[in-house]
Amino acid sequence: MVTGGAYAADKSQQVYWAGFAFTGEASARNDVAPHSTRVIQARGADTLNQQLSAALRRQPPAHLQLISDQLAKLDGTTSATVLAAALDRELVSVEPIGDQYKVLVEVALQALFFDFRERQVVASYPLTLQRIDLLEYRPDQDEIDAIVADLLYGGAATGLPTVLANTLANAQLPNASVRRLQVGAVTLSDAARAKLPNPAMEAPLRATLAHELSKALSSSTGIGLLPPASGEAIGGAMAARFADGKVYQLKIPEPDYVIKLQLDAMKSGVVSETPVMKTMLFGAFFQVSVVEPFSGKVYFDQPLRKGATKVVPVTQWQVDQWSAGYETVLAGLDAFAGAAAKRADARAWLNEQKPGGRPLQQQTQALQELINSCR
């Protein structure tokens, strides 16, 4: 870890840096993150913490004063905010495509802020590490471990040290009066469920979509959300387990607003074809609602869609339609987050929605005002 000290700009928001942690129960770690667990055990959490701290020194958050090597001095008598880089789960997919193998590795984490005295989550900034490779052979466990190690420890722009520093660059802690936002239930329609390559994918996919929607909203709006009400945050609580053996059972406060997502359909088709290539259109259809749980007031409830094209050369005889459809869903979640944040590129996407019209315009404005109340 970094030697004692602080690094940042805004002295009004002090945060104690706690380093890397796993979320969830220790007994489930080998099920939800087997490769990450092996890599951390082999390379050491202390080494990772040193790299994370070095990255945060090189690129300190603009609005937070990170205090290192002082966590042990906290006795819980005074309020203090603690920051952890918390790993939730990983996703590994190896799909044969022709005579090659497409390898997808994702590691889902969050920059998790919690009140040390109250043991309560303050905010979460989700982040995802991803690597996609096309190999001539099926990789074994050691090769997947090596990919995960590079994602966690690597110095590239896609490695955790840089991604964490970029995620925290403009992060701000909410004050006590700020309203809290949380991604709640994620469901799949029967039509969307039928598109899954494997029925066992449904539960991890729902957790992944909740994470990705939270990440899209956080990165587009700049606000920290509560951890999604799925995955490791079920039941209004979650555990954070650190390398030194300390375990914090954290409460998750009730959200003021809940975002619900239903994936309705994933469709695809050929829109044009020539002797050398064909153009395919992939469509993601989903419903998003934003509700105030206490009053039941609905701020946003609309069917949404997102399209994306993929050019396939005639020499490629097999198309990974599931991956293309999944990427289109993620693009749709990003487009929704852009509309919520009043991003400049959101207007064209909103105009493509059906039925759209005035109800969508009015609800989008209400959503944007709601987002501002969470800043």
Q: What are phi and psi of 177, to 5 degrees?
A: -90, -10
Q: What pLDDT was estimated at residue 278?
A: 92
- What whole-number distance in Å separates Cα of residue 82 and Cα of residue 237? 16
What pTM, to 2 d.p., does this model score? Answer: 0.88
- What whole-number distance in Å separates Cα of residue 139 and Cα of residue 94? 8
Q: Per-residue pLDDT tens, the chain, 375 aa: give them.
A: 344 555 544 456 899 999 999 998 887 888 889 999 999 999 999 999 999 999 999 999 999 999 988 887 887 777 899 999 999 999 898 878 778 888 999 999 999 999 999 999 999 999 999 999 999 999 999 999 999 999 999 999 999 999 999 999 999 988 877 899 999 999 999 999 999 988 988 988 999 999 999 999 999 999 999 999 875 555 688 999 998 888 999 999 999 999 999 999 999 999 999 998 999 999 999 999 999 999 999 999 999 999 999 888 877 767 778 888 999 999 999 999 999 999 999 999 999 999 989 999 999 999 999 999 998
Q: Which residues, listed in sequence order, are joined to residue 134 by a DSSP beta bridge? A: 102
Q: Which two tokens stand for residue 143?
A: 């090769």
- The radius of gyration of the chain from alpha carbons, rounded to an integer in Å, stands at 21
| Residue with token string 């998790």 | 112
Q: What pLDDT was estimated at residue 253?
A: 92
Using CA of residue 363, residue 256, residue 122, residue 261, what is the dihedral sign? negative
- What whole-number distance in Å separates Cα of residue 138 and Cα of residue 96? 8
- What whole-number distance in Å separates Cα of residue 172 and Cα of residue 10? 10
Q: What pLDDT was estimated at residue 2?
A: 43
Q: Which two tokens stand for residue 352?
A: 């493509």
Burial readout 293-309 (b: 16 or more C-beta within 10 A, e: otherwise): eeeeeebbebebbbbbe
Q: What pLDDT was estimated at residue 235?
A: 65
Distance between start and end Cα atoms, the chain: 31
Q: State how beta strands 5-8 and 237-242 pair.
A: unpaired
Q: What pLDDT was estimated at residue 365?
A: 97
Distance (Å) of CA 21 to CA 46, 89, 242: 11, 12, 5
- What whole-number distance in Å separates Cα of residue 227 and Cα of residue 207? 11
Q: What pLDDT was estimated at residue 69?
A: 80
Q: What is the 3-state secondary structure (H, E, C) of the chain?
A: CCCCEEEECCCCCEEEEEEEEEECCHHHHHHHCHHHHHHHHHHCHHHHHHHHHHHHHHCCCCCCEEEECCHHHCCCCCCCEEEEEEEEEEEEEEEEECCEEEEEEEEEEEEEEEECCCCEEEEEEEEEEEEEEEECCCCCHHHHHHHHHHHHHCCCCCCHHHHHHHHHCCCCCCCCCCCCEEEEEEEECHHHHCCCCCHHHHHHHHHHHHHHHHHHHHHHHCCCEECCCCHHHHHHEEEEEECCCCEEEEECCCCCEEEEEEEEEEEEEEEEECCCEEEEEEEEEEEEEEECCCCCCEEEEEEEEEEEEEEEECCCCCCCHHHHHHHHHHHHHHHHHHHHCCCCCHHHHHHCCCCCHHHHHHHHHHHHHHHHHCC
Q: What pLDDT was estimated at residue 12?
A: 62
The type of residue at 88 is D
Q: What pLDDT was estimated at residue 77?
A: 78
66 Rama class: left (phi>0) / alpha (psi -120 to 50) / beta = beta
The type of residue at 315 is T
Distance (Å) of CA 352 to CA 7, 109, 344: 45, 33, 15
